Amino acid sequence: MNLIFDLGGVVVEWNPPAICAQAFDDPALRQAAMTHILQHPDWLALDRGSLALDDAIPRAAARTAWSPAAVTDFFDTVLASLRLKDDTVALMRRMQSAGHSLYCLSNMPHHALAFLERAYTFWDVFSDRVISCQVGMCKPEPGIYAHLLQHCAIDAAQSVFIDDMQANVDAAATFGIHPLRFHNAAQCESALAAWMNPAVGRA
């Protein structure tokens, strides 16, 4: 079985409202960070790899009227928030030990990917990976799923995509990949067991 894991919200924490709350006490500043940085089209461009962080920072500063240093501090807070979900990593290692092949499909900008590569050692569980900034496509765009299947040479019918966003698993399902929306590691493991064991019933 091929198990394809998202990163943010699955393997590492990803909670934009909590990030903004940690960075700012002022509700107006929290909303500005959400609207003008995390939910702005530039964030998707970072994920796609079409915008560099060094260019994104002054653009965000212009939108928010913050100093570039303040924007940089916020981006640093975002990186620091990407804490490892130890229970997910333990699940991935159990799945790997059970003989399943693990892959990674994630939207992630270059600077965040570099941070995760420096900070954590879970990468060895993956047979291969597709990261948005490296391929110029983002979930839930169809092209990134087609690229995953071709690049990793995997059979969609024998694959499960695990992601915390419904739109992303729905898009995977259109390619015949079994969709599994992630809520927590225990729920994910239970759903995987049900899907893999016909006697239990598919999740």
Confidence category of residue 116, pLDDT binned at 50, 70, 90: very high
- In-domain check, residue 122: yes
Could you tell me if residue 203 is inside a domain?
Answer: no
Q: How many distinct structural domains can be found in the chain?
A: 2
Is pLDDT of 202 > 60? Answer: no
Give this prediction's pTM.
0.93
Residue range 180-187: average pLDDT? 97
CA distance linking residue 1 with residue 69, whole number of Å: 46
- 56 with 134, same domain? no
Asked whether residue 21 is domain-assigned, the answer is yes
Distances (CA, A) of 98 to 91, 93, 119: 11, 9, 26
pLDDT in tens, 43-79: 999 999 999 999 999 999 999 999 999 999 999 999 9
Average pLDDT, integer, range 139-159 = 97
**Domain annotation covers residue 111:** yes
CATH number of the domain where residue 190 is located: 3.40.50.1000
Q: How confident is the model at residue 197 (pLDDT cuts 50, 70, 90)?
A: confident
The whole domain housing 25 covers 16-80
Count other Cβ atoms within 10 Å, centred on residue 13: 14
Q: Running DSSP on this structure, what letter comes out for residue 12?
A: B
Burial of 53 (0-12, 13-18, 19+ CB in 10 A): middle
Looking at residue 69, its pLDDT comes to 97
8 lies in the same domain as 35? no
Contact between 168 and 6 (Cβ < 8 Å): yes
Same domain? 109 vs 180? yes
Let me know if residue 63 belongs to a domain.
yes
- Residue at a domain's end among 35, 53, 80: 80
Q: How confident is the model at residue 154 (pLDDT cuts 50, 70, 90)?
A: very high
User: Within 13 Å and on the Cβ side, how many CA atoms surround 93?
Assistant: 10
Within a domain: 201: no
* Residue 196 pLDDT: 81
pLDDT higher than 60, residue 203: no
Assess whether 94 and 24 both reside in one domain: no
> Tens digit of pLDDT for each residue in 21-44?
999 999 999 999 999 999 999 999
pLDDT score at 88 = 98
Residues 34 and 6 occupy one common structural domain: no
Q: Flag whether pLDDT at 125 surpasses 90.
A: yes
pLDDT of residue 198: 61
- Which letter does DSSP use for residue 72 in this model? H
* Domain shared by 101 and 178, yes or no: yes
Whether residue 69 is found in the same domain as residue 105: no
1-6 mean pLDDT: 97
Average pLDDT over residues 140-162: 97
